[in-house]
Each structure stands twice: as structure tokens, then as C-alpha cells.
A and B are shown apart, each in its own frame.
Chain A
């Protein structure tokens, strides 16, 4: 990769949590280059001020990472206990621990050696190994993955379930080990029945687990181990009868992004302005309004909505969300692009420009 490739923004970025099989996910617009804006004029942070995080760090996350840096195992456990039975928060914290161990896991392995039955240590270790395996595989299409990568991928993943099971045995009420196992089940190519068995363990402990649903919908896609009918059924099931504020409408948005957007230009424009997306967006907005900003999947919902509202031409709502989002761009769908910053600023500019063109309608 030469200097020129970098200048032409051809750097391929590896997505954060191992998005598999989505090399061509985002259809790129073939319209003329969008007009740009001066962010400051609209109360938006400039490109230089952007931060590669989904949102401002949750205080528990900050406390957790400080504890890791200090090497204070007691504090780590205390933070996790503070999350209590907020399983989704606990899952988010475990993911942060795993990210922190990506380059150097000595603190994690010594923690595990010192406390071999600590479910948090075990789950973190399992998640860390799973992350590493998917990073080795990379997000490339299957045919572009070398046999060396495949062998390492499967070899590592095969060694992980025992840690998940160990954690589950010690902390039976916690769905987190099962959520970690879910991702491994995808990697190890569990058949549908085996996957459902793992899924059942998750939802019997936390039926509204957004991240678990998002992982599962990928499994049920036709390109993975499901089919169009199975995926549709899963999404309908995930959203039906769930109270507003659970943020499960995010599952439909993600599914639409990966599966439902037409490839060709004219059909795509039609879809973006069509009833299917409109209904999904209305539901998702209502869901967001009813949700607590403390919900771990709240920022992700904002980002999905900001994207889709812009594409759907609902510029006032989109601009409003961008203002709330502020400088944070480290989330989907921007993270799936080759150049997340540009994708974020580009769509953001589209929203503002569209809002201007529409005569600056009042914001919600």
C-alpha cells in the first residue's frame, strides 16, 4: 500500500468487533459529490474534533479502565458488581475489558491465574480470545481468508467454550457468558438447533438483550446460516410486543442495512423514501424517546437513526440527532466504512444541507 493509496483514502479498516461477511454491505452513493458545510455554523464539532467512540464514556467504563491501568483487581470486580443485574451494562463493561487486553493480556491472564473461578475474569478471557480469533480471520470474505488464518481462527475458537461454560456454572444468572458463546457459535458454524440452544440460554436470562439480538440477526442472515424467512421471522419476533424504550427496534434497522437495501440506484432511492423504512424509523424514534440515555445501546440507536433519517430525507430529525451525538463517530454504520470519519461527516453534511434546502424547518 503506497503513500498514494493512503492519500486516495484506500486504507482498509478492520471493524471493531469482527463484522463478518459484510464486505459490500454499504451501498455507496453514485450521486454528484455532496456539498460541504462549516460545522461550527450549525453547532456541530469540526472534523478535527471528532472522537472515535460511540459516545462519551459511561462513568462505570471510565472507572473500570482506570482500575485496569492501576492493576487493581478488586476495583475491577467492584465496578462490575456495581452494574449488578444490569446485564447489558455488564456485557458492555466486559467488552471494554476485552478490548483493553487486545495488545497485552498479561494483566488478564494473571488475574485468571489468581482467581480461576471468577466469572468476570473467565468471561473477559473468553471474549478476549473470541475477539482475537475474529481479528485473525479479519472481516474479509471467506474466499480471501488464507488457510493459515482459518486454522488459527478455528483452533482458538475451539478452546473458548470451556471458559464460557465455566463462567456460566459459577454465575448461573448471568447471561454474559452465553452472549460471548453466541458469537463463538457463529464462528464455529453451529447448526441452527445448536445455535437456538445457546440463544435460549441468553434470552431466558435477559429477554431484551439488544447486543445479543444484533449478534443473532447476523447468524440468521442467508449469507450465514439462516435464510430470508428465518431472518425475517427473527426480526419480527424481536420487535413484536416489546415495549418502547427497550431499543430492540435497532435489530430491524441493522437487518435493513445488511439485507434490505436494494443495490440499484433508482430502487434504492425509492426504498429510502418508502413505507417500510418509514415505519421502521418511526418505531425506532419512539423507542429512542422512551429509552433511558443510560441504556448501553442508546448511542448506537442514535447513530443508526441519524444515518437512516438522512438517507430518508428527514433532514430536520437527522440534524437534530447529529447535534445530540456531537463529536462521536465510533459506531455503526460509520465504523463499517473504509473511512469512518469521512462517512460520518459526509452524511452529517447531507443532513444539514438538506435541512437548509428545505428551508430550515423547525427541529423536533
Chain B
């Protein structure tokens, strides 16, 4: 009884939204009529009339757009690959099986996307009152990281939002929440996919827009808070469905894995894929996502992720996100009576379900790279690591480079620094280095301060030399999945000579000769 009352409330709210829109438009048109009549009798009101008409036009535009937006996520806005059941028969069979087990319609489209995400949505109309075509997206990182059973649990959970257990009432809440959020976004002019040239969301500013946005926002807030409780319950219900289908242990393991995969994927994109971005270097399409699999295969990385699995804490609470904290969801699943189904601890990953994993990885990976049209070169991981290593070295050397440039009043290469040392002017350069915290404790003479400064100068000079040697090709970095910095590769005697050269630079009587010999072996500065 209570559920029917709740469902009626939601329907009333959604219909009420249209009533509200109609009300605003009616009020504005009435205002126009009044103003026109006043203008007819008092000709001097011409400007006010124009304003009134303009306001009405704006309102019509904003309100209509907000009211009739659909949650249709346009095909062209999805970054990923759509796969038919001819492309991926095993995957489709699995999804259909899960949908049937959950007791709902299977989606009619499946997209494979390069995000840590799995979602089912409908192109619903009238703010979710009328269901539409159902689509699903599955993140490739999930296929890479999760076992088949864990992925089953994740997909079953998403389908569970539309499950027959709660019938359309549960789905109604889900659709409604999606719709009103989209309506607010539309009113703000922020629809998915509309972006300016540099990636910022384009905003159309209409006169009076803020007022309508505030109104819609308040209304949306109302709908969301009314549906919040039910939505939360539904989340837990969807989790129970998932646990029933994939097994309690696998469902819990899947949930634990999600924050770990998210953290790992963000780390991977930031430290590996984007490593060469300043030089317009990228991994090959097949490796963009393939590398993630290699990263996860590295034992030390798995160990790094364990704390995230044991203690899934960090969650950014979004008031419009109905998902309860992952910790609570795991606890709820683990509180269920044990079903005796074993945890899948094998090395099998859901990726194997795909017909041709390598080709799909490459196809989705290629979609990731098509963005702003900048010509970027695809290189292997070692080349990327070398580029990143050289950039990192150059950045570490920046304070020293700046000090040398300040000394000469213009930028100079490493040879310029060495010339200054030979001229007995290392002290002046050391004076220009930024003072560390420790240095302020030492109330020392200039001489002592310079000696102290040599401590921070040494690693900067080392980095500068490395950057120079990298440019000459005498130092490389090899990609390492265990260490984002890569492993440096240089001839062993080169390393020894470099250390000795650094000692000579930092000596009480500095000598730039050995460093010159190491870096500019031919004796001619670059």
C-alpha cells in the first residue's frame, strides 16, 4: 500500500513538473498580454514590452528544453565501441542470461567503453514516465580486472535496477532520478557531449536563465529527496539480486575490487598513458588498454591495491548519487546467509569472454585517442618511459637551470653551468638557488651557506646531466610496470663516471672537468 502511495507521489511530482512549466509559461504570456494592453494605451512603454516578449521567448526556450529533454544519451556521445551479438556472441549470451535471471528485459545495445563503469539506461521519455530503448555500457577496465563471476555480479546489479522484483515502481524511481538530473543539466545548457574547442562544457546564457535553473534545481532536489530512500533500498536490493546470481562471495569481491580498479586505472592513465603527452607521444592503440592488463599482472601493484580492497573508504559524497557507500554495500552482502558458492580465485578474467580480446582492446583504445585532432605519434612503452624520464630529469634540474640563467642573464645549457664552475663562480650560482627549510636553521657564513647549498645542487646537476645524456641517446629508461618512473639504463662505467663527476663538482675546490668529459665526450659542448 505504502509503495503504491510512494509511486503515485513520484508520478505526481513528475507530472507536476510539467504543470510547473506550463504555469511559468502561462504566467509569462499573461504578463505579455497585460503589457501589450498597457502599451496600447500608453505608447511610451515600448521598451518594457520588448523586454517582456524577450523574457517570454527565453522562458519558452529554457522550459521547453528542460521539460522535453530525454535522457537519451546520443550514440555519438559515447566514447567506445558498440558491439552487436554477431560481434560478441558469448558476451551477449551472458548478458541475456543475466537479464532473464534478474527478471527484466535485456538491453538492445551494448557498448564497450574505456571507463571504470558499468551502466544500464533507457532512452525514457516524459521524465521517465514512458520507458524506452534500453542500452548497456561495460567498461573495458572492468573486463580486464574482474573475474567472470565478479563481472556477472556488477552487470546483474545494474540490471537489477529494472528488475521485476520491484516491478516498474522501482524502475520508475531510477528513471525519474536520471531524468530530473538531466533536465537540470539541460536547463543549464550542459548536455552530454556539447563542448567547446578546448573541452569545456558550452553554456548558453539566456536572459533570466539562472532563475529557471534555480527553479528546476529546487524541483529536482525535491524529487531526488523523495526518491532517495526508495532508491537506496533499491540499490541494496539490486546487490542482493547480484549476490543471488553470481554468488555472495563473488558479489562482495566484485564490490571490493571496484575502488581498486578505479584507483589503478586513474593511476595508469596519469602515469603511463599520459607520460609522453607533452611530447605528443602516445602508446599504440592496442597498448592503451593492453598496458593496463600488464600493470595489473604485476605482483607489487596487486599488493599496492590490497589496502584499497580491505578498507574501501575514500568516497566523494555526491548528494545526487543514490549509491550507498561501498563499505555499506559490502557489509550488506556479507550479512546475507552464506550460500556455499565458492569464490572464484582463478586467474580467469572476464576479458576472455570476448571473441577477440586483443582486437577489441585495440578498437576501444583507438577511440580513447581520437580527441582534439592534434597529431600524436604512437610509440612503444620504452620510448614513452624514456621521454617521461628525460622530462622528469629536466624538471628536477629546473632550479639549477634557473639559477644559471639568472647568473648569465639569459638561459644557458649545461655547458654554461660548467663554464661558470671553471671560472670559479659556482658560489654565485649557489647563492641563487632556493633556500631549503634546513638552510634557514644554519646561521652560517656565506662560505658555509654555499657548502650547504651544494647538497641540493648535486641531484639537480645529476638530473641536468641525465637529461642531456638522454637527448644524446646515451641514457634510456625501460618501462617498468612495477615502477612508474621506469628503470634507467646506461653503460655501467658511465654511471660511475657520472658519480665521480658529481663529486668533483661538489668538492670544496669544484672541478667541472670530469663532468665535461662525461657529458661532452667529444669535448665539444652541444
Contact = CB atoms under 8 A, between A and B. Distances in A.
Nearest to B449: A136
A132 B448 contact: yes
B26 to A, nearest CB: 69
Interface in B431-485: 436-439, 441-448, 451-452, 454-456
Contacts of B455: 148, 151-152, 155
B303 interface: no
Contact of B447 (A14, A103, A146): A103
A217 interface: no
A129 interface: yes
A146 B448 contact: no
Interface size on A, as a range, is 20 to 34
Contacts of A133: 451
Contacts of B445: 102-103, 132, 135
A103 B508 contact: no
Interface in A130-186: 132-133, 135-136, 138, 140, 146-149, 151-152, 155-156, 159
A159 B507 contact: yes
B447 A102 contact: yes
A320 interface: no
Contacts of B451: 132-133, 136, 152, 156
A104 B443 CA distance: 15
Contact of A149 (B447, B452, B507, B509): B452
Given A102-B445, A102-B447, A148 B452 contact: yes
A159 to B, nearest CB: 5
A108 to B, nearest CB: 11
A117 interface: no
A105 interface: yes
Nearest to B454: A152
A135 B506 contact: no
B444 A135 contact: yes
A103 B446 CA distance: 7
A109 B455 CA distance: 22
A9 to B, nearest CB: 17
B1 to A, nearest CB: 71
Contacts of A149: 438, 441-442, 452
B65 to A, nearest CB: 61
A61 B438 CA distance: 35
Contact of A105 (B436, B441, B443, B447): B447
Given A148-B439, A148-B455, A155-B455, A104 B508 contact: no
Contacts of B436: 146, 148
A256 B508 CA distance: 38
A6 to B, nearest CB: 14
A126 to B, nearest CB: 11
Contacts of A152: 451-452, 454-455
Contacts, number: 56
Given A132-B448, A148-B452, A148-B456, A156 B442 contact: no
A347 B437 CA distance: 37
A121 to B, nearest CB: 14
B422 to A, nearest CB: 16
B499 to A, nearest CB: 13
B437 A129 contact: no
Contacts of A102: 445, 447-448
A16 to B, nearest CB: 14
Main secondary structure on chain A at its contact with chain B? helix
Contact of B452 (A105, A136, A140, A159): A136
A103 B451 CA distance: 12
Nearest to B437: A146
B438 A146 contact: yes
Nearest to A146: B438
Contacts of A159: 507-508
Interface string A7-45: 000000010000000000000000000000000000000
A151 B459 CA distance: 12
Given A135-B448, A148-B455, A155-B454, A129 B442 contact: no
Nearest to A137: B442
B447 A138 contact: no
Nearest to A102: B445
Contacts of A129: 508
Contacts of B454: 152, 155
Given A136-B452, A151-B455, A14 B443 contact: yes
Contact of A136 (B448, B508, B509): B448
Given A146-B441, A148-B439, A155 B506 contact: yes
Given A103-B445, A155-B454, A148 B438 contact: yes
Contacts of A140: 441
Contacts of B456: 148
A135 B442 CA distance: 8
B177 to A, nearest CB: 54
Interface in B406-452: 436-439, 441-448, 451-452
Interface in B94-112: none
Contacts of B506: 155
Nearest to B508: A159
A188 to B, nearest CB: 15
Interface in A318-352: none
A262 to B, nearest CB: 32
A151 B446 CA distance: 18
A147 B442 CA distance: 13
B114 to A, nearest CB: 43
B216 to A, nearest CB: 56
A149 B444 CA distance: 12
A138 B437 CA distance: 15
A102 B445 CA distance: 7
A140 B444 CA distance: 14
A155 B509 CA distance: 12
Contacts of B437: 146
Interface string B259-291: 000000000000000000000000000000000
Nearest to B444: A135
Nearest to A131: B448
Contacts of B509: 109
B35 to A, nearest CB: 68
A175 B86 CA distance: 94
Given A152-B454, A156-B451, A138 B508 contact: no
A361 to B, nearest CB: 45
Contacts of B438: 146-149
A131 to B, nearest CB: 9
A151 B506 CA distance: 11
Contacts of A146: 436-438, 441
Interface in A93-143: 102-105, 109, 129, 132-133, 135-136, 138, 140
Contacts of B441: 138, 140, 146, 149
A136 B442 contact: yes
Given A151-B455, A152-B452, A136 B507 contact: no
B503 to A, nearest CB: 9
Nearest to B445: A103
Given A102-B448, A156-B508, 7 more contacts: A129-B508, A132-B451, A133-B451, A136-B444, A148-B438, A149-B441, A152-B452
User: What are the 7 A-B residue pairs with the smallest beta carbon separation, nearest first?
Assistant: A146-B438, A148-B438, A151-B455, A103-B445, A148-B455, A152-B452, A152-B455
19 contacts: A132-B448, A132-B451, A135-B442, A136-B442, A138-B441, A138-B442, A140-B441, A146-B437, A146-B438, A148-B436, A148-B455, A149-B438, A151-B455, A152-B451, A152-B455, A155-B506, A156-B451, A156-B508, A159-B507
